[in-house]
């Protein structure tokens, strides 16, 4: 796999598709969530309006250098994550920039945006931002563990770290999916997935329903717009990894849309049914329920 210039427009195309899909998907998910709560919810195009409005707002202030760069880090992290993983299996066109690195690159690049974001939020000097970061990082460390174990288990199972190779190994029928060949790993990973989607019961980091808290507290206008952009790309990018590792990947865009939607729905189902955990509760939960499954997955492979 070598770099060719044509990969750049191809990647941009992927990005474009994913942004639009993400904008609609998150709105749809919002709406589903609202309907479960007997509310009307937002219109499906609401995200477009928000985005345009925020990018267009003129009044903007900055708390400093790092504050300014925070959203840039965030969005670069989301875009990079998306582009480092092949989106559509078997398609040269949508394998994006995955020549740069394998699964490990994607795993670690997840933190790039989070780190930059946290730093930016930190410079705002707002204690709520710092509290959010503290909670977010604490919870993340516990939530990532089962996922890491699952990934390792899967890598051991297929004896490769290349995403493409892992997807390739799952072709030829639903039963070849990791979901069925290594159910423990997938369960562990899905538990972890719940933790990383910022939805209940693990949404204390942002605490969206109450006071404004969490890293974005001080962000507004175009900063917020960049973050919103990321917030539609990032979950999709993340789900793409799950899809590729555990659910046989996607060989075409329709399959892609469907699988991403369904995987996203897992967190929605759990989210609407359960109340919120405090951070230390969620840490314990991950260590007690998810981690043993991950260990089992590794031992049994």
- Span 277-296, contacts to another protein by CB under 8 A: 278-281, 283-284, 287, 291, 294-295
- The reply on whether position 181 binds another protein by CB under 8 A is no
**250: its two tokens:** 């996607």
| Residues in region 71-110 near another protein by CB under 8 A | 71-73, 75-76, 79-80, 83-84, 97, 99-105, 108-109
The residue within the footprint of another protein, chosen from 46, 91, 138, 181 (CB under 8 A), is 138
Cis peptide before 270 (omega within 30 of 0): no
Contacts of 133 (CB under 8 A, 6+ apart): 118, 121, 122, 214, 215
Q: Which is nearer to another protein, 39 or 284 (CB)?
A: 284
| Residues in region 198-217 near another protein by CB under 8 A | 211-212, 217
What is the smallest separation between the CB atom of 31 and another protein, expressed in angstroms?
28
What is the smallest separation between the CB atom of 223 and another protein, expressed in angstroms?
7
What is the smallest separation between the CB atom of 274 and another protein, expressed in angstroms?
19
- The reply on whether position 164 binds another protein by CB under 8 A is no
Q: Which is nearer to another protein, 123 or 203 (CB)?
A: 123
- The reply on whether position 190 binds another protein by CB under 8 A is no
The residue within the footprint of another protein, chosen from 18, 145, 185, 206 (CB under 8 A), is 145
What is the smallest separation between the CB atom of 168 and another protein, expressed in angstroms?
14
Q: Torsion-angle region of residue 248: left (phi > 0), alpha (psi -120 to 50) or beta? A: left
The DSSP symbol for 78 reads H
Instruction: Please state, in angstroms and rounded to a whole number, the distance separating the CA atoms of residues 294 and 184.
Output: 7
The residue within the footprint of another protein, chosen from 142, 169, 190, 237 (CB under 8 A), is 142
The DSSP symbol for 278 reads P
What is the smallest separation between the CB atom of 184 and another protein, expressed in angstroms?
13
Give pairs for 83-88: CB < 8 Å, separation 24+: 83/11, 83/14, 83/15, 84/109, 85/163, 85/237, 85/240, 85/241, 85/244, 86/163, 86/164, 86/167, 86/244, 87/14, 87/18, 87/240, 87/250, 87/256, 88/250, 88/251, 88/252, 88/253, 88/256
| Residues in region 112-131 near another protein by CB under 8 A | 112, 115, 118-119, 122-127, 130-131
Instruction: Please state, in angstroms and rounded to a whole number, the distance separating the CA atoms of residues 68 and 66.
Output: 5
Instruction: Please state, in angstroms and rounded to a whole number, the distance separating the CA atoms of residues 144 and 115.
Output: 15
Rounded to 10 degrees, the C-alpha dihedral 191/79/229/212 comes to 50
Query: Which residue do the tokens 């699964």 mark?
Result: 103
| Residues in region 24-63 near another protein by CB under 8 A | 55, 58, 60-63
- The reply on whether position 134 binds another protein by CB under 8 A is yes
How big is the site for another protein, counted in residues (CB under 8 A)? 85
- Tell me the window of 22-30, 142-150, 190-198, 247-255 that interacts with another protein (CB under 8 A): 142-150
What is the smallest separation between the CB atom of 166 and another protein, expressed in angstroms?
10
Q: Which is nearer to another protein, 89 or 264 (CB)?
A: 89
- The reply on whether position 298 binds another protein by CB under 8 A is yes
Query: Which residue do the tokens 């910022």 mark?
Result: 198
């Amino acid at each position: 796999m070598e770099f060719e210039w044509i990969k750049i427009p191809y990647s941009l195309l992927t990005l474009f598709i994913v942004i639009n899909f993400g904008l609609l998907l998150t709105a749809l998910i919002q709406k589903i969530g609202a309907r479960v709560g007997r509310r009307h919810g937002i219109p499906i195009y609401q995200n477009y309006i928000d985005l345009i409005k925020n990018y267009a707002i003129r009044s903007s202030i900055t708390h400093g250098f790092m504050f300014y760069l925070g959203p840039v880090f965030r969005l670069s992290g989301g875009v990079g994550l998306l582009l480092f993983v092949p989106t559509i299996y078997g398609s040269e066109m949508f394998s994006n920039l995955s020549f740069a690195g394998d699964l490990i690159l994607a795993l670690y690049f997840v933190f790039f945006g989070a780190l930059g974001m946290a730093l930016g939020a930190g410079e705002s000097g707002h204690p709520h931002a710092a509290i959010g970061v503290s909670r977010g990082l604490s919870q993340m460390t516990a939530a990532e563990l089962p996922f890491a174990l699952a990934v390792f288990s899967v890598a051991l199972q297929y004896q490769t770290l290349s995403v493409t190779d892992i997807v390739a190994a799952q072709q030829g029928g639903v039963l070849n999916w990791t979901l069925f060949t290594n159910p423990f790993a997938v369960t562990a990973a899905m538990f972890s997935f719940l933790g990383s989607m910022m939805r209940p019961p693990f949404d204390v980091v942002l605490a969206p329903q109450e006071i404004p808290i969490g890293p974005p507290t001080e962000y507004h206008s175009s900063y917020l717009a960049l973050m919103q952009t990321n917030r539609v790309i990032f979950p999709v990018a993340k789900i793409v990894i799950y899809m590729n590792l555990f659910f046989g990947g996607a060989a075409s865009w329709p399959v892609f849309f469907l699988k991403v939607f369904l995987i996203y729905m897992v967190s929605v189902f759990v989210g609407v049914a359960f109340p919120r955990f405090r951070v230390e509760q969620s840490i314990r939960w991950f260590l007690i329920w998810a981690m043993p499954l991950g260990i089992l997955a590794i031992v049994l492979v």
